[in-house]
């Protein structure tokens, strides 16, 4: 027999053989034991399920010709940590394929060469051991507070990391929810990097940054002559992402006309270029993100309900920094390491009093704001330890607009209990939003660009809120 490639540095977890035919079972065990594998055997599925060491087996091999294909699901449920390989006669190939659909990692057709059997077993075990090692390393990243570049150690972030780890290997559509600056694109990248598509393209599209008239061409591409200026055929971002992942950020900003076309892509997994009729099949993982309340948009008729349910398969909600403020020292440490060299700074970090003061600030811009703040502090400060007095534009526990002449935002002191809590929260939120936008416009004397950049929302979203609250920029110049 040819020498096998059985890894000697891996854990020697045993193999269970489920085979009613005693001769075949003993032959399998002998082949595996000669190559150094530890194999045990039983004759029936019930014996296998009741085996005292069932959960310790790295691999379970099952003979398919005795109707055991239907038992693969039972085995996978009872021993989810174990891989399954089916063994079938040529006449039972359909049963073996059924077993693979139910979760078997591989199957082998009799008669087989012993060396081929050992090679198949080794490949399955190697893949399993690699997955276990990756899982162990990801667990170490979570404990260290840096999961694929996402910083956090609070329970809220550990929950996010666990969810990413669970759904990344799948092709499920993911909707990432959270305020601007919470790190939604980092989550999308982590989902891609931990998926089987990691070696294929990752295409990121900010839907709010593309003019409505160009969005369809940007996403789906166009044929030559499709419109004025279309001098040649152009592939869209969906085509560029084929076999990889496409990340559609600010999905709440796309117009209703594009929502219909996006729904068709999600349902049919095919696109049509602008000016073309031929459907183009695409194999992609779709990840979307928004800082908008899509449920409210659906209720207001501004977002299609059928599209919402199509993209709301697996939601991941990122908490704002103010709700995980205990992560701030970890984030500051990370950004000091990132920008210290670029800023040519001699500072090694922030003092405890500086961090405590920073933790009293709400950080409306979230991670993006704290990153910019740390970089600015490193550039402006030459002290070895950045103290409270060294903080640039030192934040306080008050509103970020408290330094202007405007009074603090009003906090309601009378609560109308006749109104349902959800409606009351909605009313108060609208009042605060309107006041916030008016103060921004007053602060920047009607400058829209500075206002929406300060607010951390898109230009389109800012204008939409102005229309919603009947605010005119002319009133603030």
Q: Coil, helix or strand for 349?
A: strand
Beta bridge partners of 205: 248
Q: How far apart are CA 149 and CA 163, in angstroms?
A: 16
Do 321-390 and 421-476 have matching folds? no
Torsion angle of alpha carbons 253, 254, 255, 256, nearest 10°? Answer: -110
Would the CA dihedral through 151, 156, 160, 162 be positive or negative? positive
Reading the block at residue 201, the tokens are: 């393209």
What class, spelled out in words, does domain 421-476 have in CATH? mainly alpha
Domain 145-317 fold is: Rossmann fold (3.40.50)
Alpha-carbon distance of 345 to 65, in angstroms, equals 71
- The structural domains of the chain, with segments of one domain joined by +, span 15-135, 145-317, 321-390, 421-476
Q: What's the CATH code, domain 15-135?
A: 3.40.50.2300
Digitized pLDDT (tens) for each residue of the chain, 477 residues in all: 444 444 443 445 689 998 888 888 999 999 998 888 888 999 888 888 888 888 788 898 888 765 554 678 788 888 887 888 888 776 566 776 777 777 788 888 888 888 988 998 988 888 877 776 666 665 555 555 678 889 998 999 989 998 998 899 899 999 999 999 999 999 999 999 999 999 999 999 999 888 888 899 999 988 888 787 778 888 999 999 999 999 999 999 999 989 999 999 999 999 999 888 889 999 999 999 999 999 999 999 999 999 999 999 999 999 999 999 999 999 999 999 889 888 878 888 899 989 998 998 889 889 999 999 999 888 888 788 888 877 876 454 443 433 333 444 454 445 566 667 777 777 778 888 888 888 888 878 888 888 888 888 888 888 888 888 888 887 776
- The pair of three-digit structure tokens given for residue 207, joined into one six-digit string: 């839907």
Q: How far apart are the first and last CA of the chain?
A: 87
CATH match of 321-390 with 1.10.8.60: yes
């Amino acid at each position: 027999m040819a020498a096998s490639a059985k890894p000697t540095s891996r854990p020697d977890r045993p193999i269970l053989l489920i085979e009613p035919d005693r001769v075949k079972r003993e032959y399998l065990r002998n082949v595996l034991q000669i190559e150094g594998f530890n194999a045990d055997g039983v004759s029936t599925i019930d014996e296998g399920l009741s085996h005292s060491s069932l959960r310790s087996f790295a691999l379970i091999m099952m003979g398919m010709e005795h109707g055991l294909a239907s038992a693969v699901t039972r085995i996978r449920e009872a021993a989810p940590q174990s891989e399954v390989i089916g063994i079938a006669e040529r006449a039972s190939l359909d049963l073996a394929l059924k077993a693979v659909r139910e979760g078997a990692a591989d199957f082998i057709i009799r008669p087989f060469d012993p060396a081929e059997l050992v090679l198949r077993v080794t490949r399955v075990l190697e893949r399993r051991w690699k997955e276990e090692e990756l899982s162990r390393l990801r667990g170490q990243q979570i404990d260290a507070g840096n999961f694929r570049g996402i910083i956090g150690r609070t329970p809220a972030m550990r929950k996010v990391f666990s969810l990413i780890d669970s759904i990344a290997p799948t092709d499920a559509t993911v909707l990432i929810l959270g305020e601007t600056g919470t790190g939604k694109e980092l989550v999308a990248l982590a989902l891609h990097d931990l998926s089987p598509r990691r070696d294929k393209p990752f295409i990121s599209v900010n839907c709010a940054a593309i003019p409505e008239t160009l969005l369809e061409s940007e996403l789906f591409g166009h044929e030559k002559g499709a419109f004025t200026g279309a001098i040649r055929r152009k592939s869209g971002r969906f085509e560029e992402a084929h076999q990889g992942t496409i990340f559609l950020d600010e999905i709440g900003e796309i117009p209703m006309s594009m929502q219909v076309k996006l729904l068709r892509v999600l349902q049919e997994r095919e696109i049509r270029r602008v000016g073309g009729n031929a459907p183009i099949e695409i194999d992609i993982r779709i990840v979307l993100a928004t800082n908008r309340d899509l449920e409210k948009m659906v209720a207001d008729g501004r977002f299609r309900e059928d599209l919402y349910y199509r993209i709301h398969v697996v939601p991941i909600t990122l908490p704002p920094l103010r709700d995980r403020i205990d992560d701030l020292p970890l984030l500051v440490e990370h950004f000091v390491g990132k920008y210290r060299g670029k800023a040519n700074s001699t500072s090694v970090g922030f003092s405890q009093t500086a961090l405590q003061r920073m933790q009293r600030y709400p950080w409306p811009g979230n991670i993006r704001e704290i990153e910019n703040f740390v970089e600015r502090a490193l550039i402006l400060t030459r002290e070895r330890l950045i103290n409270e007095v060294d903080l640039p534009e030192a934040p306080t526990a008050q509103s970020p607009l408290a330094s202007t002449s405007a009074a603090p935002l009003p906090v309601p002191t009378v609560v109308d209990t006749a109104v349902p809590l959800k409606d009351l929260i909605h009313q108060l939120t609208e009042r605060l939003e309107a006041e916030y936008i008016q103060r921004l416009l007053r602060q920047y004397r009607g400058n829209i660009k500075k206002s929406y950049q300060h607010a951390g929302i898109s230009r389109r979203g800012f204008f939409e809120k102005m229309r919603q609250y009947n605010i005119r920029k002319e009133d603030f110049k």
